[in-house]
Chains A and B, each alone.
Chain A
């Protein structure tokens, strides 16, 4: 018994990603076709060369038919995956394991979400029939509860913590402004951000991820076959997933300053990849900055800095594009937007561009050329009850 991972056994050989934005003129089918075609082209494959497909979508379609119909697949298996906001990442995880098992030679994962057809701003959750006692709070409000708890625990005053959160949003806007595929390509200053009206706790709309439509895709094969398709494959070093048991909601010991699911997930991922010190070994990280306080806490939960120090490190610029460990160089959920089922694959797409030296100069990570590992972290749920995914990808087969 144990979580062993599939280090260096599987490689990503092709990727695609649409722009994330309000695609009023495109539905999920158009977005999936666009991302898939880009991925096929980057690996030099056609849809018939893929042996099996995985589709990640939280609520833009049911069953494998959601993908097989627009792609007009003939006799191919398609598995639809849903795992909250970690949907796309988990779909990729399934496809990688399927190939590692020997069941298939080449598999593709497509993540998609069409969120802008609801008529409402922000994401709207689908409620199953229930007894009427379930919480109806927005995710923004749930995550906003981190702010007073963290500030109190580490003695950060109210204005300072606001500046820290604004600094995170400002960094991600800065990065997004250098990314033509991002939803928001506009820089925002800390001064502008702290002045925004509050919508949930101390959070403003600018502390929340962008909400846009989009799709991303990845093709995987066995590591030893990777060079048949590309000169620069990305090797999967770790794929880790933890589904929490919701204890944080009922356990008085939980203090809203950390996500235990992520700590456990990170430990497993670093173990699988053989990473001892993520701060110095990783070239970059794409993390799930659904709300600015989430990114703050993640810096500690992922081991990028000591407990209680993330706020200082953020103010010092440690996670900026030119910092010690660039975080969310593509703009993150904040700027790139968050089409739920596509987001996890979008994070890997940035690793694909950055580690292969294909990211545009103006947002190239400071660590390029000196380190070769990227971490992507994708979560779903709320403080106290969440799922967590972490991948570690690298350019060297070990």
Chain B
């Protein structure tokens, strides 16, 4: 999973917007992140934690797709260097798309990667702006033949109904809401129904649920329903509303991952999602969970992060137009050039010469490719460019030498220019550099290694 580095202090909202905000913080995607790039980061983390599993398909769920009429999941496919035979599908539109993707993935053959990401906000001062969060999560699903299973799905019940509680037409920057009680009524009824059906199907009682995760698009319904499920209140998982916010389509998987980190083998997890109906899933953790290690836990990522000013947040979201640098804007990326250099551009693959020299970008003269995305680098020298074009100046830039060989002069991200120093350790992260003519230019940047939390 991937929680972006920046955190917006909600108390910073009202003094500017005149209303809104609240207590705590929310996560904020960097200007160079979108749902695809965040999903790539989450997918990398998932694959890193199960190095022997190669996904046979990719599913990408989001409410904020960078492209329409073009599959976004293919970028994840490219970043992970999956074989051509592995399909990549988008599930777009609502939080429930994530459940649909997960369900489809579970029904397919072979291991599948389900990644979900979202960028949540509304107009300045809105509830969605304050309670929303940005982030991504990814899970690998499959059976024992694909790899060690951490949790088994023992039941999945759903309840579906058409009712208009929250909506947004494509292109709008805010969602609109119907009177709260109307939605709450529907969600409570649908949620209880699905939850009880799942328990029944699993042959369990509510008291036997060790970890309860409730997530949804209707805050009041989510809070209220927990008391009606019969699960003891101490079993309820933290929903990260005080730290990260509700990450929309990513939230069901984000909370599932966080709960799996806390769970012990042989426990029962219930995930109830309220989004245009209800999905109740009962998981049973396995013995393999005890041996499962993730490099960067959800808890650590949630606890980390650096501050961002509200004004900067607004400008990154396109809600505050600030003066751009007086330099020419970049022209659009060439599709054919990008296609030729797919492994370099999307997967950060360099080349290795016969004498072992690593070259970035890859040289046409070298016999072998060399994957560099997971390499750790060290800053040799650096600069801050206040003249060059950037969607969010200034550009912080460094010459980076990688452990195991290879050097690249490259832009840094998730960093304040005053923190950079020679000798600083950096890691690679997949980003969207800029967009021109509607073409998103994805490539890699380096960011400081900040220990476990990232």
Q: Which residues from chain A sit less than 8 Å from chain B, CB to CB?
A: 118, 120-122, 124, 127, 129-133, 135-138, 140-142, 144-145, 148-149, 152, 198-201, 249-252, 254-256, 384
Contacts and interface: CB of A to CB of B under 8 A. Distances in A.
A149 to B, nearest CB: 5
B385 A137 contact: yes
B384 interface: yes
B441 A200 contact: no
B387 A201 contact: no
Nearest to B331: A127
Interface of B: 326-328, 330-331, 333-334, 337-338, 340-341, 344-345, 357-361, 380-390, 395, 397, 399, 401, 405-409, 411, 422, 433, 441-443
A252 to B, nearest CB: 5
Given A137-B385, A138-B327, A198-B386, 5 more contacts: A122-B327, A132-B338, A141-B397, A142-B383, A148-B381
Contact of A133 (B361, B395, B406): B361
A272 B409 CA distance: 35
Contact of A145 (B333, B382, B441): B382
B327 A124 contact: yes
Nearest to A382: B409
B380 to A, nearest CB: 8
A199 B333 contact: no
Contacts of A124: 327-328
A131 B344 contact: yes
Contact of B326 (A120, A133, A141, A200): A120
A252 B405 contact: yes
Contact of B443 (A122, A132, A249, A250): A132
Contacts of A141: 383-385, 387-388, 395, 397
Contact of B337 (A129, A145, A200): A129
A131 B389 contact: no
A198 B417 CA distance: 13
A155 to B, nearest CB: 14
16 contacts: A120-B326, A130-B334, A133-B345, A136-B388, A136-B395, A137-B411, A138-B327, A140-B385, A141-B395, A142-B383, A200-B384, A200-B387, A249-B408, A250-B359, A256-B381, A256-B399
Q: Which of A133, A137, A140, A251 has the most CB of B within 10 A?
A: A133
Nearest to B407: A252
Contacts of B397: 137, 141
Nearest to A255: B380
Contacts of B441: 132
B401 A252 contact: yes
A133 B401 contact: no
A148 B422 contact: yes
A249 B350 CA distance: 13
Contacts of B328: 118, 120, 124
A373 to B, nearest CB: 35
Contacts of A254: 407
Contacts of B361: 133
A138 B345 contact: no
B409 A135 contact: yes
Contacts of B387: 122, 138, 140-141, 199-200
Contacts of B385: 137-138, 140-141, 200-201
Query: What's the dominant secondary structure at chain A's contact region?
Result: loop
A138 B380 CA distance: 19
Given A122-B387, A141-B395, A199-B386, A131 B381 contact: no
B381 A145 contact: yes
Nearest to B390: A136
Contacts, number: 113
B40 to A, nearest CB: 15
Contacts of B360: 250
Nearest to A150: B381
Contact of B389 (A132, A136, A199, A249): A136
Contacts of B333: 130-132
Contact of B395 (A132, A137, A148, A384): A137
Contacts of B433: 132
A198 B418 CA distance: 14
Nearest to A198: B386
Contacts of A130: 333-334, 337
A144 B383 contact: yes
A187 to B, nearest CB: 25
Given A124-B328, A138-B385, A198-B386, A132 B409 contact: no
Contact of B422 (A129, A131, A152): A152
A161 to B, nearest CB: 13
Residue of A135, A136, A199, A256 with most chain B CB atoms under a 10 A cut-off: A136
In the A-B complex, the 6 residue pairs with the closest CB atoms? A132-B333, A141-B385, A201-B383, A132-B441, A129-B334, A131-B337
A250 B406 contact: yes
A384 B388 CA distance: 19
B332 to A, nearest CB: 8
A321 B33 CA distance: 53
A133 B341 contact: yes
B409 A249 contact: yes
Nearest to B400: A252
A201 B420 CA distance: 12
B409 A138 contact: no
B373 to A, nearest CB: 14
A338 B386 CA distance: 21
A236 B382 CA distance: 40
Contact of B344 (A133, A135, A256): A133
B327 to A, nearest CB: 6
B386 A249 contact: no
Nearest to B336: A129
A201 B381 CA distance: 11
A148 B398 CA distance: 12
Nearest to B340: A131
Contact of A131 (B327, B334, B383, B395): B334
A199 B330 CA distance: 20
A131 B331 CA distance: 11
Interface centre among A129, A130, A141 (most CB of B within 10 A): A141
A127 to B, nearest CB: 6
Given A144-B383, A149-B381, A131 B408 contact: no
Contact of B382 (A122, A135, A148, A249): A148
A136 B422 CA distance: 21
B407 A250 contact: yes
B388 A137 contact: yes
Contacts of A122: 327, 387
Q: Select the residue from B361, B387, B408 with max chain A CB neighbours within 10 A.
A: B387
A273 to B, nearest CB: 34
A8 B347 CA distance: 55
A199 to B, nearest CB: 5
Contacts of B357: 251
A161 B221 CA distance: 64
A45 B384 CA distance: 51
A252 B328 CA distance: 32
Given A131-B337, A133-B344, A200-B383, A250 B389 contact: no
Nearest to B395: A137
A138 B394 CA distance: 11
Contacts of A133: 341, 344-345, 361, 443
A278 to B, nearest CB: 29
